[in-house]
Amino acid sequence: EVQLLESGGGLVQPGGSLRLSCAASGFTFSRYAMSWVRQAPGKGLEWVSSISGSAGSTYYADSVKGRFTISRDNSKNTLYLQMNSLRAEDTAVYYCAKDSVIVVVVAGWFDMWGQGTMVTVSS
């Protein structure tokens, strides 16, 4: 059974940092691109970042470029999101999501999502 389990969320002050993790199981992690998608309270979905299976390619939304870093450890079947210089508008549930198909870079549609981890940026 494919499972994605996010962790690392919490309350952080503006300007602070957090690192989110997503532990994957039930599939060959290294063969699939992975992404982070967030959802502010009561709002819609916003794509944040994606990384190819090999970690050779990474992509970011303009809203987080230069502040967030996506990475993965294929030996640990784990996806990460390092979030620096956090702002109030980064407050959201952060989901990790698995690409539906195996491609060289990133396919971009997601067949499996974790339950999410809440990040609150507030003083």
Partner 1 sequence: DIVMTQSPDSLAVSLGERATISCKSSQSVLYRSNNKNHLAWYQQKPGQPPKLLIYWASTRESGVPDRFSGSGSGTDFTLTISSLQPEDVAVYYCQQYYSPSLFTFGPGTKVDIK
17 makes contact with partner 1 (CB under 8 A): no
Span near partner 1 by CB under 8 A; candidates 10-18, 71-79, 81-89, 102-110: 102-110
Closest separation in Å from C-beta 83 to partner 1: 19
Q: Is 122 helix (H, G, I), strand (E, B) or coil?
A: coil
Q: How far is the CB of 44 from partner 1 (least distance, A)?
A: 5
Minimum CB separation of residue 45 from partner 1 in Å reads: 4
- 8 counts as binding partner 1 under rule CB under 8 A: no
3-class SS string, 39-88 = ECCCCCEEEEEEECCCCCCEEECCCCCCCEEEEEECCCCEEEEEECCCCH
Local structure of residue 106 (DSSP, 8 states): -
